Structure 1
Amino acid sequence: MKKKYLIWILLPFIFQSCLMDDKDLFPESAADRMNTVLKHHQEILMGATNGWILEYFPEKKQSYGGYTLFVKFEPHDMVTVASELYKADQTETSMYQLIGDSGPVLTFNTHNTLLHYFSDPHNPDGIGPGDSGMGGDYEFLMLESTPEKVTMKGKKTGNRIVMTPIASDANWTDLMKDYQLAAAKIKGKKYKLSMGELEGTALASYRTFNITYPGDNAVIEMITASYRVLSSNEIEFYEPLKIGGKEITKMKFSVDADGVITFTDVQSGLSLVELLPVLNQELVKGSWYFAYSKLGTYGKQCWDLAKTGLDAIGEQLYSAALTNGISFAFGCVPNGASTNYKGILGFSYQLIDIDQIKLSYTGTSDNNGGYYYKNSPNFPQLINPLVGQFKLIANDKKNPTTIQLQDIAKPENVYVLSRSAVYWPYNK
């Protein structure tokens, strides 16, 4: 029993000793330690006399890829921002603050159009959901800062955000132009992937590749790889792209005379070559509109006759298009009315090579199509120029907005269709 009493007597001295040890280990208060850390980060941020290149990835899964901003931290808690998504010489100054939260946090606490573009609930360009926009951050947890590199983490997304100093002799406008010129070259939507015997495809969405390729045992593998465009005609992935036992962090890109873009990585042998759209397949997708001024001599003769028939029943042609792969879709409006009576006349098609198509009228229609075909004199003349085999010519091989159809058997039959909607085509 005496031994037990001795232990109870000694316990207060043991606890006191432990408390004294704790005091020795943490001579400063938590607030003082946080202030020291914040002061260190402040000195680093201010130390880049020409500002920082900020590598910004919005959205938790980096679905929109990465973007380049310039930021310069100035006295009185002011920050100046430039963004590759705005004019090269455009800047905006707002306020920032370093605060102690769940750690040292850099917050851009007054609205800055260029920076909050990525985090505003309603994105100015309508990107992302209407209530969250691109889902980016404006508050960043400071992880590490040195004069050579600052590493942060988005407080909301958890995305890694890196800043590196801009060279003291660099001109912001000229440097931003380099980034913008490089980014403007990347307009491809679909790519062929090759790496040795491995082949697949990559679909581009914003600055993200969705890659599909056959893996082991013919199992289809799918990878998402987000990237940022560098001013040196390179892209840098948010996380290394892991494929075929290789890791790729960067890829160079080039553009040939036809505007075809190719991404390459010499060490891994990986290449992504842009696939141009197949023109006749583009024609049978979506809607392509007629305009009277874009018809050849034969087409205008036919449409002139059709107009006399519409005049006879007191109506006007509101629109005409090849659509629904492929039908002749049209709308007619009675004079003095606002009702648009839509109709369809059926066609079949045959794709020949990559730039030819054969169109044939099937004699089918919906109710309105059949009515106008039978009751408007010369209305069938509208579709006469459509029948035949045509050579297709696009205004842009990569992203055609108009396609010219040249009748191979009847050279005077030529017309140009527009991807943009055309209304009152006799007046256009």
Structure 2
Amino acid sequence: MKKIHHILFALTALFLAASCTPEVENAFDKPSAERIADAIKTTKDILVAAPNGWKMDYQGAGGFGGYNILCKFDDKDNVTCEEETQHVTSTSHYRVAQGQGVLLSFDSFNAALHKYSDPVGNLNGVKVGKDGKGFEGDFEFRVMSCTKDSIILEGRKHGDRVVMTPMPESITWDNFFTELTSTINAMYAEQYNIVIGNDTIPAKMKFHSLYATNSEGKEVVIPFIYTTKGITILNDKKLNGKKLTSFTYSSDDKWLDESDKTIIMAPRAMAPIDALFVDDWTINVGHSSAAEMAIWKTAAAYAASQNMPYTTFFFSSKPGFLSLSEYATNGWGDLRTLYTTSGTDQVTIKGFKPNVKGSADEKNGALYYANYKLNEIANTFLVDGNPTTYTLTINDVKHPTSLRMTCNSNSNISFVFDRGVWRVDF
């Protein structure tokens, strides 16, 4: 009896195996080379078939958020791209080929796309990422899935995930970027509040990523991409246990999460005193008080006569202290500023301290201070040589680009600065 059971079991197993075999053979009824050729053709056909091209939600691997790139592929292996930051439009060659599956390669230079894979990262004139890495974007992608509704890509080098969806035929590229720019301008700020229940969490924004500290004291980086309606959170990020999805713009500056209306995102005004330390600020000679600028011009003329012409002056906190910084023939110079602050808009300049034993830039600053009349320029901030208090004002509480220091004891004395480091013409 035991032998009969074994025979019956073996026959049953053989029958089941025989019944399954045709299905297995049908799944692999083509040689691998033919299957990959079919996949390549299907991918290219889908790329070309989109009449208004594709919207690429492009994200690098360097911890930055996403950027919109529109792409239109033709059947002659040409692709035209336009990106959101500078509206650069460029046509180049593309290739769909085998490479650990199907590979989409933008294999000739495309100014709209390759700016994100350049190891010397630069967006709108601002340095991005570390030297030699930049945005850490890709220009070759493995095709993870491909349908007429969406294409999922994975960067070949950095592994970044990129999603492409077909552009609606009802909107032109120009109109898309016009609407997108309008949304960006309306929602852009450098500081936000994210409200979750009873918690208001401050967040800062840089390169389309929000930086917030959660209830456990850990920094959370929340990458996002702008849309024509608002912003979409990338990478399924959570904050204080709540998943953030997308926020739709509204003119009341209280933007609700589309999936959870109890989560609110709102721009937070920047105080003038915070603006002073958030970036570099270059003197605007034409808009600052004339008497003080006359002293600056005389000092600059003297330095030029000694073959040490000044090309810029700016306040910077990047050296690790507030510096009155400058550039002359000898190189960058830093002059430590002695100051105190109070409230949201008051700064008292107490003096300046050259450091002949500091960094190379500090040594240059000391040289300029002692020999090229930087001391006379610095002293214009000190009324009668005494500590002087100034009221700070900015032009935009969301994104200041101009800062004014007005002397409290003499309103005729004021210094105006433009954000960033610029050439100063005396």
Q: TM-score, normalised by structure 1?
A: 0.71
Match of 1:112 among 110, 113, 123: 110
State the alpha-carbon separation in 2 of the partners of residues 228 and 379 from structure 1.
44
Q: Structure 1 residues 315, 290: closer, same or farther in 2, change over 3 A?
A: farther
Counterpart in 1 of 2:270?
Answer: 277
CA RMSD of aligned residues (A): 4.6
Confirm or deny that 1:28 pairs with 2:25: no
For 1:336-347, list aligned pairs within 5 A. 347=338
8 Å CA contact 1:195–1:270 kept in 2: the answer is yes
State the alpha-carbon separation in 2 of the partners of residues 380 and 137 from structure 1.
47
Q: Structure 1 residues 108, 347: closer, same or farther in 2, change over 3 A?
A: closer
Q: TM-score, normalised by structure 2?
A: 0.71
Counterpart in 1 of 2:222?
Answer: 225
Confirm or deny that 1:237 pairs with 2:233: yes
Comparing 340-349 and 38-47, the one that deviates more: 340-349
Unaligned runs of 5+ in 2: 1-13, 357-365
Counterpart in 1 of 2:66?
Answer: 66
Counterpart in 2 of 1:143?
Answer: 144
Partner deviation per Cα, 1:295-350 (whole Å, 9 max, x = no partner): 5477579x49x97xx99xx999968776776687899x9xxxx779989697443x
Q: How far off is 1:212 after superposition?
A: 0.7
Counterpart in 2 of 1:248?
Answer: 244
Q: Secondary structure at the match of 1:239?
A: coil
Q: How far off is 1:173 after superposition?
A: 1.9
Confirm or deny that 1:393 pairs with 2:386: no
Q: Secondary structure at the match of 1:174?
A: helix
State the alpha-carbon separation in 2 of the partners of residues 390 and 141 from structure 1.
57
Q: Structure 1 residues 38, 270: closer, same or farther in 2, change over 3 A?
A: same
8 Å CA contact 1:210–1:225 kept in 2: the answer is yes
Counterpart in 1 of 2:83?
Answer: 83
Letter in 2 for 1:70: L
Counterpart in 2 of 1:41?
Answer: 43
Counterpart in 2 of 1:168?
Answer: 169
State the alpha-carbon separation in 1 of the partners of residues 146 and 157 from structure 2.
20
8 Å CA contact 2:95–2:107 kept in 1: the answer is yes
8 Å CA contact 1:190–1:203 kept in 2: the answer is yes
Q: Secondary structure at the match of 1:179?
A: helix
Confirm or deny that 1:353 pairs with 2:343: yes
Q: Structure 1 residues 379, 316: closer, same or farther in 2, change over 3 A?
A: farther
State the number of aligned residues.
388
8 Å CA contact 1:291–1:422 kept in 2: the answer is no
Q: Structure 1 residues 356, 51: closer, same or farther in 2, change over 3 A?
A: same
Q: Structure 1 residues 79, 221: closer, same or farther in 2, change over 3 A?
A: same
State the alpha-carbon separation in 2 of the partners of residues 235 and 106 from structure 1.
27
Q: Secondary structure at the match of 1:277?
A: coil
Q: Secondary structure at the match of 1:33?
A: helix
Q: Secondary structure at the match of 1:143?
A: strand
Q: Secondary structure at the match of 2:249?
A: strand
Q: How far off is 1:250 after superposition?
A: 0.8
Q: Which has the higher strand share?
A: 1
State the alpha-carbon separation in 1 of the partners of residues 48 and 278 from structure 2.
54
State the alpha-carbon separation in 1 of the partners of residues 396 and 176 from structure 2.
30
Comparing 269-278 and 204-213, the one that deviates more: 269-278
Q: Secondary structure at the match of 1:40?
A: helix
Determine what percentage of the aligned residue pairs are the same residue.
19
Q: Structure 1 residues 169, 298: closer, same or farther in 2, change over 3 A?
A: closer
Q: Structure 1 residues 226, 27: closer, same or farther in 2, change over 3 A?
A: same
Counterpart in 2 of 1:131?
Answer: 132
Q: Structure 1 residues 187, 220: closer, same or farther in 2, change over 3 A?
A: same
Q: Secondary structure at the match of 2:100?
A: coil
8 Å CA contact 1:107–1:139 kept in 2: the answer is yes
Match of 1:55 among 54, 57, 68: 57
Q: Over alpha carbons, which structure has the higher Rg? A: 1
Q: Secondary structure at the match of 2:40?
A: helix
Unaligned runs of 5+ in 1: 1-13
Counterpart in 2 of 1:101?
Answer: 99
Letter in 2 for 1:109: D
State the alpha-carbon separation in 1 of the partners of residues 355 and 256 from structure 2.
51
Match of 1:264 among 235, 252, 256: 256
Partner deviation per Cα, 1:36-83 (whole Å, 9 max, x = no partner): 333332332232122121222122x6x121111222221223222222
Counterpart in 1 of 2:7?
Answer: none
